[in-house]
Structure 1
Amino acid sequence: MSKVINYVSGEPEVNLYILGDIETYGVDAPVTVDAFEKAGIWTSLVLGLAENYVVYSRDRFEDAQEVADLIGQYAQGGDPRHINARLDIAEALAPHFPEMTLESCKLATCRGLKLTPSEADSDLTIRQLHRDDYEELLTLQDQAHELPSLPKTRKELDAAIERKAEAEKTGCETIGVYRGGRLVSSASTSAAYSRGAMVTGVATLPSERGRGYATLAVQSLCQDCFARGMDHLCLYYNNPVAARIYKRIGFVDIADFGMLRRS
C-alpha cells in the first residue's frame, strides 16, 4: 500500500479518488490496484472499484494498450461503467473503448476560501442534510436536471436514499440552502477521506437561479470540510457560468480531465 500512496501522493487532488478509496478500502477487494512498470520503474497505475476505474501516470502515458487490456479483462469482455483520468490519458484510452463516450472537463481545487458564507437574507437557512432530507434532495436534483431521472419506484427511491446515507457514514456531506422552508439549492461531497473530498451534486431549482444560492451551498460545504481538517476540495466542471462561481469562492484550475462513460 505504501508504494501506491508514494506514487500518487505528489498530486493529491489529481488522485483524490485513488487516495480516498485506498484509505476507505485498502488495496484488497472490493478494490483492485494494478501497476505497470518498465525497467523496474512504475509507469502507470489503475485502480478499480465497482466497474469504475481511475488511471494515473506521473509522466507521459505510454501504456494505453496494456491498461485497456487489463480493464477489459476485469469487465469480462464488456465496457466498464466509467474511466476517469487526466485528459491525455483518457484520449489515449478512448480508441480502445469505441462504445464509450469521452467527455472533457476541468479539474479545480480549493485550499482556502476567498469568501465566507453569509445568510444576509433572513428568509434563508443553510444546514447539513441527513437521511430524512434525502428524498427532498433527490427531487431537487431531478428538477435541476442533475439526475438522469428521479427513481421511479419507491424501491428505487429507497435504494438511492440508502446510498446517500451510506456515503454520509464514510464522511461525505450535503449542505442545503432553504428559502422559506423550501430546499432551493444543494452541494455535496463524494470520495471523502482525511485530507480532501470531491464536490458534487451542485444543484439549484431553475426558478431560484441567479440569486447566489449555489455559491452559499458550496461555500458552506467547503467551510465545514476545512473545519474538519481537510486541506483541499476538488471539483470537475465544464460550464463557464459555474466556473465563475467556483473561482469567486477560491477554486483554481489544475488539470484537464477526461471521463469515458458507458453509452
Structure 2
Amino acid sequence: MIRKLTAADHDQVFSFLKKEAAINLFIIGDIEAFGYDQDFQELWGEFDENGMLKAVLLRFYDSYIPYAPSTFDVNGFAEIIRSNDGVVRLSGKSEVVEQFENVDGLSLGKKRVTYFCECNTISFTDEDEAYDVKLATVNDVDRIVELRRRISEFTATPASREMLLKSLETNTGRTYYIEEDGQMVSSVSTTAENSLSAMVVGVCTDERYRQRGYASVIMKKVVKDYIRAGKTLCLFYDNPKAGRIYKRLGFYDIGTWTMYG
C-alpha cells in the first residue's frame, strides 16, 4: 500500500531512512527543513501488510527521489511521478532509480551516473596549514558566485545565487574559502546539511591560482569541522583523478548515484 506521509509518520520514516543516512541525506535534509506539509514538497511511503515501511518517495518541486533497501512498487511510484507533466527530474541510488527506465510513460531525460562516497573519520595528520581558510557569510554570496563564473567547469544558472543564499540563511550549507589580495580564489561548499550529514559541492579554484593545494587545504578544514560535529560528509564525483584526491582525505565509495533530466 502506498499513501501520503504526514508528521505522524515521522519517527518511523526517520528510523527507516537512517539505515542508509548518507544515501538519504537529501530526503532527510528536506524533511528536517520543510516537514510534511508544504505545497512544494510531498512524501509518499509504501507499507507492507504489517504496516512496516518498505519505500519512500520525495517530491521537491519538480524533482523526485525514491528510496528502498529492497523490492518496492516501482509502478506505483511511477504513477505518482507521471502526474507531473514533462521531463521528470529523477535521482537516487542507482539500483533504485534505474528500475524506472523500464516503466512506460515516463520521460526521464538525459542520464548521468556518478560515484557516491562518504567520509566519517579524520584520516590525515592534523597539522597547521599555510593558508587561512575562512567561513563565508551571506555577505560573501556575490563573491562566491563571481568566483564560480570565472571557472569554465561551472555553469551559473539564474537560481544559483538564490540557492546559495538560502543555504547560508537556513544553515543547510556552508562555504569555506581562501583569498589572495582580497579576492576569493578557491572555495568549497556544502549543501543539504542535516542532523546527520552534508553533501560537498562547488569545489573550485580560479585557474590562475591552481596547483597550490588550496582546494585540498579547504577540504581538510571541511572534513575536520563536520566529523568533529559528528556528521558524515558525502560527495559525488565522476572524474577518477578527483576521486583519488578525495580518497586521500578519507572518502570511500559506497555506491553510485543516477540522475535523469
Instruction: Using structure 1 for the length normalisation, give the TM-score.
Output: 0.85
Conservation of the 8 A alpha-carbon contact between 2:45 and 2:57: yes
Change (3 A) 1:237 1:117: farther
Does residue 54 (structure 1) correspond to residue 65 (structure 2)? The answer is: yes
Gaps of 5+ in 2: 1-9
Corresponding position of 1:221? 222
Corresponding position of 1:237? 237
Conservation of the 8 A alpha-carbon contact between 2:46 and 2:56: yes
Conservation of the 8 A alpha-carbon contact between 2:115 and 2:238: yes
CA deviations 1:67-103 (Å, max 9, x no partner) are: 2221121x2x2223x3221112222123443451111
Conservation of the 8 A alpha-carbon contact between 1:117 and 1:220: no
Corresponding position of 1:179? 180
Corresponding position of 1:43? 54
Conservation of the 8 A alpha-carbon contact between 1:83 and 1:259: yes
Does residue 128 (structure 1) correspond to residue 128 (structure 2)? The answer is: no
Change (3 A) 1:86 1:111: same
Moved more, 124-133 or 111-120: 111-120
Could you tell me which amino acid in structure 2 is paired with residue 109 of structure 1? E
Could you tell me which amino acid in structure 1 is paired with residue 45 of structure 2? A
Let me know the Cα RMSD of the aligned residues: 2.1
Could you tell me which amino acid in structure 1 is paired with residue 129 of structure 2? E
Corresponding position of 1:67? 77
Cα distance between partner residues in 2 of 1:117 and 1:178: 20
Moved over 6 A (4+): none
Corresponding position of 1:6? 15
CA deviations 1:16-52 (Å, max 9, x no partner) are: 1111111111222142110123434433210111212
Change (3 A) 1:163 1:98: closer
In structure 2, which of residues 93, 109, 112 is the aligned counterpart of residue 100 of structure 1? Answer: 109
CA deviations 1:207-245 (Å, max 9, x no partner) are: 333322111122212222234x23211111111111111
Corresponding position of 1:251? 251
Corresponding position of 1:22? 31
Does residue 170 (structure 1) correspond to residue 170 (structure 2)? The answer is: yes
SS at 2:46 equivalent: strand
Could you tell me which amino acid in structure 2 is paired with residue 203 of structure 1? C
SS at 1:46 equivalent: strand
Moved more, 130-139 or 192-201: 130-139
Could you tell me which amino acid in structure 1 is paired with residue 240 of structure 2? P
Cα distance between partner residues in 2 of 1:99 and 1:16: 22
Gaps of 5+ in 1: none
Conservation of the 8 A alpha-carbon contact between 2:13 and 2:53: no
The number of residue pairs the alignment matches comes to 246
Corresponding position of 1:78? 86
Cα distance between partner residues in 2 of 1:201 and 1:242: 13
Corresponding position of 2:202? 201
Could you tell me which amino acid in structure 2 is paired with residue 55 of structure 1? P
Conservation of the 8 A alpha-carbon contact between 1:128 and 1:176: yes
Instruction: Using structure 2 for the length normalisation, give the TM-score.
Output: 0.85
